[in-house]
Structures are given as structure tokens and as C-alpha cells.
Amino acid sequence: MTEQYFHATLTQIEERAIRLLAGVPTHLDGMDALCESCRRDLDSVILGAQSLRDDDQYRDASVQTERLRLLRNLFGQLDILESSAVAALQRVNDDDRRMTKTARVLAEECKFPLTAPVVSCTSQDYFSIDPKLRLVQIPLTDGRHLLHLADLAHEMAHGLFTDRHNPKVQAFKAALREVKALVYAHFDQRQKDLALGRSPIGLKERTPIWSKSWLNSWIVEFFCDLFGVFAAGPSYGWAHLHLCLRHDSDSHQCPFFDTTSHPANAARTMVIMDGLRMAGFGPEADELAAAWGDFLHLTRESSDADFVECYPNHLLRQVVEFGFRAYKETGCQVVSRSSMGKCQTLLNSAWQQFRSDPKKYPAWEAAAMKKFYSEYGL
């Protein structure tokens, strides 16, 4: 690769970043932190491109592989910024402002230890978060309705596992390590046991995939679900069930050939129900369990031997116990019937209304949202 190529490409990266930087608003109410993060990251891309292009040390023939890797990093950083944060900031509308306020109020009510994320209604595929930029993306019209908004708590919780050094999130990191050790020990022992005798076809091969899925991402997803339960109460459980109904899925799915990022919906439901009971919402957990049973009857799904092997009850129970302890040690406030804040009340009332009188729900929702947001001038 010639020096001229590096020079021209790095100049293009620099120009692209400068153009994006010019498009980042100077001030956006409630979103200044995201604007600042964007400016900082774009600045670092510009400096990085200039340095890779102009500094003598990068022209040494022995470091061109490393130089190319650094150039690719700049492209990657820029692509992500352009397609998420900058795009979101350039189109901020009233829905985005309302959703950002919702996340902020919910964060205050549960004493979330980090800065609340900015929410943008620009997702093409349900809810997600960029934990580094603290940007949550939700679908275009989901900000007009209440039923799924408890899921904001799940997305916020992902930030707890991204902050590397923040002492405020160490309880969750410690819990993650402890559960990982338990999961590893369980599947390691299981593999040893299976090696001793006959076992169902393929089980020996599937066990390591399950173990790896647990260690790589499932525990984090379970913890984020639990955060949702402890922060938003039963509304989180109902939102989960609603999501299960919304999409085609195999509720008891156990990965066969490769790891998956999210555990099966049935396992998540078990964790959510257990979490609700632990938080003092026993009757609500029973109602959710009954509704989950109806759902499985409707979809004609049931647990099988693989599911029991893949999601052992005692591990799910440990996840809930460690998650509950970490939540409290972090200083977050577990929601209760008597201590609900305005946002928590809104989300839980929405589900009560929706379930008790679905016909009147749309009018109730519109009025409730108007009242809630008018208090914040939105």
C-alpha cells in the first residue's frame, strides 16, 4: 500500500469527520452530554487521522500493518458515529425529547448510578443501546405508546457492564464474575459426567455451546432483565410478554451449532417472575405466570429435555439472587407498590388499564401521556 493511498484516505476521513462535526448541534436540551460525546469522539477521529497521515513514525516500513489497523479503527469509529449518534442528533423531534425525559425520570426514580441515556426514535429493530455513547434507539412510533417503555430500563442497564473503572458499577461486575464461575463449574462438571456414560445424541457437543453462550452474553442479558424488574416492577414483565407475542420465536430455544446473544424467552420469563417475587410482587408474578401459560398454550410450545439441561433451575435462581444483591449494593432503589415514582406509576398503570379495559386503553393512554409530559413542558 503506497504512502499516497494512506495520505489520500486519511485526508478523506478527516474531511468526513469535520463535516459530521459541523452537523452536531451546539445545544440540545437534555441531550448536551450526547452532543459533547459526539464532538469529543469526532475530534479524536480527526486528530487520529492527522497523526496517522503526518507523523514520521507511521511512515516506517515495519509498521504499515499496524498503521492499516489504526486506519480501519478510524473508519469503524466514524461509521458508527455517523449511523447512530450524529444521525440521531440531526433529527431530534418531540418524540425523542419525550422519550429522553422518560429515561431520565425513570433513572432518577430507581437511583440509576450513571447518566441517563438519550433516546432516539430511529431504531429499525426494536430497542437497543450504544452503551459508550449512552444512546438508546427505539422504533419510530414506540415513543407514542407506553406498553414497551419499561424496556428502557433493560437498555440502560447495559451501561453498567460497559463502564470499565467506575466504582459505582463494581457490584454488578463482581456479581457477573461470581455467576460466571458458577456457570462454568456447572457445565464443566456436566461435561465430565456426560463423558463417563451414554447420553442423548449430540448433548456432549451442545453443552459447550450453551456454556459459552451463558458466559459470553446470557448472564448480562439476565441481569439487564432483572434491572428492568427491580426498576420498573411488573410493567417490565408484561412488556416482556408483549414482546414475545409480537415476534415469531422459539420460546425454549437452545442453541445447536453456535452461540446466541440472548437466552430463550422462556428462561428470561422464569428469571423475570422470580425477580418479581423477590422484589415483593408475588401476586403480580402469579398473574404473569398464568399469562405466560396461556401464551405457551396459544403457540403450542413446551419445554423439552434440552431446555432443562441448557437452563438449569439452580443457575437461573443464582442469577436472580446475585442480580438482586448487586442491584441493592449499587445503591439502586427497588420499586415497590408504595414507593413508585411518577414514571414507574405511569408504566404500571398503563398495563393495569390495558389488561382491565383494553377498549378504553387508547384514550386512557393518550390522556395519561399528555398529563405526564405536560408536567415537563413537553
Partner 1 sequence: MNNAGLESSIYEELRGYSEALNRYLIKLKTEPANARFTPPKEVAELIQGLSENFPGEVSMQLLSSGLRERGAFPLVRVKRLRTALDSGASSRETIQDLEELAQYLGRHQAGAFARLRRTR
Euclidean distance between CA atoms 141 and 144, whole angstroms: 6
Binding flag, residue 206, partner 1 (CB under 8 A): no
Binding flag, residue 87, partner 1 (CB under 8 A): no
Binding flag, residue 141, partner 1 (CB under 8 A): no
Residue type, 148: H
Choices 2-10, 98-106, 108-116, 208-216 (CB under 8 A): range interacting with partner 1:
208-216
H/E segment holding residue 120: strand 118-123
Binding flag, residue 276, partner 1 (CB under 8 A): no
* Cross-strand bridge partners of residue 129: 136
What crossing angle do the helices spanning 313-329 and 265-278 adopt, rounded to 10°?
50
Binding flag, residue 100, partner 1 (CB under 8 A): no
292-321 positions binding partner 1, by CB under 8 A? none
Binding flag, residue 9, partner 1 (CB under 8 A): no
DSSP state letters, 247-279: S---TT---SSS--SS--HHHHHHHHHHHHHHT
Is 84 within 8 Å of 130 (Cβ atoms)? yes
**Residues contacting 55, CB < 8 A, separation 6+:** none
Binding flag, residue 291, partner 1 (CB under 8 A): no
**Burial class of residue 167 (count of CB atoms within 10 Å of its CB; 0-12, 13-18, 19+):** exposed
Binding flag, residue 173, partner 1 (CB under 8 A): yes
CB of 50 or CB of 77, closer to partner 1: 77
State which of residues 32, 54, 66, 250 lies at the interface with partner 1 (CB under 8 A): 66
Binding flag, residue 286, partner 1 (CB under 8 A): no
Binding flag, residue 176, partner 1 (CB under 8 A): yes
CB of 245 or CB of 366, closer to partner 1: 245
- Quote the least distance from Cβ 178 to partner 1, whole Å: 8
Euclidean distance between CA atoms 276 and 185, whole angstroms: 27
CB of 168 or CB of 212, closer to partner 1: 212
* Cross-strand bridge partners of residue 135: 118, 130
Choices 27-35, 171-179, 286-294, 370-378 (CB under 8 A): range interacting with partner 1:
171-179
State which of residues 124, 338, 356, 374 lies at the interface with partner 1 (CB under 8 A): 124
DSSP SS3 for 341: coil
- Residue 113: DSSP 8-state: S
Binding flag, residue 364, partner 1 (CB under 8 A): no
Binding flag, residue 333, partner 1 (CB under 8 A): no
Q: With contacts defined by CB under 8 A, how many residues of the chain interact with partner 1?
A: 50
Give whole-number Cα distances, 104 to 154, 214, 300, in Å. 14, 31, 40
Residues that bind partner 1 (CB under 8 A): 57-58, 60, 62-63, 65-67, 69-70, 72-73, 76-77, 80, 83-84, 123-132, 137, 151, 154-155, 158, 161-162, 164, 173, 176-177, 180-181, 184, 212, 215-217, 220-221, 243, 261-262
